[in-house]
Amino acid sequence: MRIAIVNDLSRAVEILRRIVLDSALHKVAWVARTGEEAIQKCENDIPNLILMDLFMPGMGGVEATRRIMYASPCPILVVTATMEDHAGKVFEAMGHGALDAINTPMMGSGEGARKSRDALLKKIAIIEKLSLNSQASPTKRQSMGAPFAKVSSLIAIGASTGGPKALADILSRMPANLSAGIIIAQHVDGEFSAGMARWLDGQSPLTIRLAEEGAYPARGTALLAGKNDHLVLTRNLNLAYTREPVATPFRPSVDELFKSVAAHWPSMGIAVLLTGMGRDGADGMKMLHRVGWHTIAQDEATSVVYGMPKAARDLGAVSEILPIDRIAPAILRRLSAF
C-alpha cells in the first residue's frame, strides 16, 4: 500500500515512516505536517491509506478528515498519542469517515515498542483487506421466559465508517423512556469502545453503556459491543461474545449480531444498517427481513461510505431507505405500531 503520514512531530513521523518501510509491504506516499498540507497533497495524489494525527498547528485531524473525505476520499486511520484524553475528537474524526484509531507506536526495541508496532501493522493489514474486498464507493426460538419481560421490542443497529456521528444523530433523538432496548455493533477497536460509549451517552437521553457478557436488552438502554470479539444474542435472550468467525476482518461483526438476533429473538423488531465500507450486516439484515423485522438502511446522500447500506439494498433486505435525520423518527413511528 502507498501510505501517507500526516503529523507535525518529527519523531512521530520518523517512527511511522520506519514501521511502514520496514514492513517491506508498503511505501510512504508523502508526508504532511498540517491538515491544510494534507488536503492539498491528497488532491494531487490520493494514497491507499492516510495515518492521521489529531492535533496539529492550524487545522487539526478532525477537520482535515472531513475535508479529505469530501473532496478526495480515501481510507484514514487516526494515529495519535492523545487517544485516551481526547476520545471525543477520535469519534468526531470517525464520524467524518476515519476507519479506526490507534495510539502512536513507541520508539525503541523493547517489548512494548514491538507490540505497538505490530498493532499498527495489523490495523493496516485489516484496512487493506477491507479496501480490496469493498464494494463501497465513497460519497458526498426459544420461549420468551423471564428475560423477555424486561423488554418486548428490540432495535439492532450496525455501523462502520462514519458510524459514530450517525449513531449520535439517532440516539440523541431517542426519548429517555424508550419502550425498546437497543444493541449496537460498531466497527471500532475494543480498546476505544468504552470511550465511545461514554461519548454517545453524553449526547443522548438514553443510558448508553458497553454490553457485558450475560447482559439482557433493557428499556431505554443502548448496549454497545465492547470487545474485538463478536457480540451475539443467545437462545436465552442475553448477550455474549464469541471469537468465531475468526477470519472476519471487521470486528465486532454486524452480520453475526443480526444473524443471532434473527435466530433467537421471539418477536418482531427494527434493524438499522448505517454508513460503512464493505458489506458487513447485509446478509444478517436479509435474515431479519425474512423473519418479519422492519429494516432500515441509511441513504447514499448522508452516508460517509455507501457500502454496507447499499449491499443490503441490493440484496432486497431493506424495508426503508432513509437519510440519517429521518431514521430516529421512523424507528419511533414503527415502535408505536408494534
Q: What positions carry a catalytic annotation?
A: 160, 187, 280
C-alpha pair distances (Å), 196 with each of 73, 86, 123, 132, 225: 24, 11, 19, 27, 10
What's the CA angle centered on 210, arms 205 and 65, to 5 degrees? 80
Show the cell assigned to 4.
501517507
Q: Output the DSSP codes for 226-282.
A: -SSSEEEE-TTS-EEEE--STT-SSSS-HHHHHHHHHHH--S--EEEE-SBSS-TTH
> SS3 of 101, please?
strand
d(CA 196, CA 100): 12
d(CA 182, CA 199): 16
d(CA 312, CA 324): 16
Q: Are 77 and 100 in contact (CB under 8 A)?
A: yes
Residue type, 198: R
d(CA 77, CA 39): 15
Q: Are 7 and 33 in contact (CB under 8 A)?
A: yes
C-alpha pair distances (Å), 42 with each of 32, 38, 134: 10, 6, 21
d(CA 112, CA 106): 7
Q: Are 184 and 208 in contact (CB under 8 A)?
A: no
- Centre a 10 Å sphere on the Cβ of residue 7 and count the other Cβ atoms it contains: 28
Distance of CA 238 to the CA centre of its chain: 22
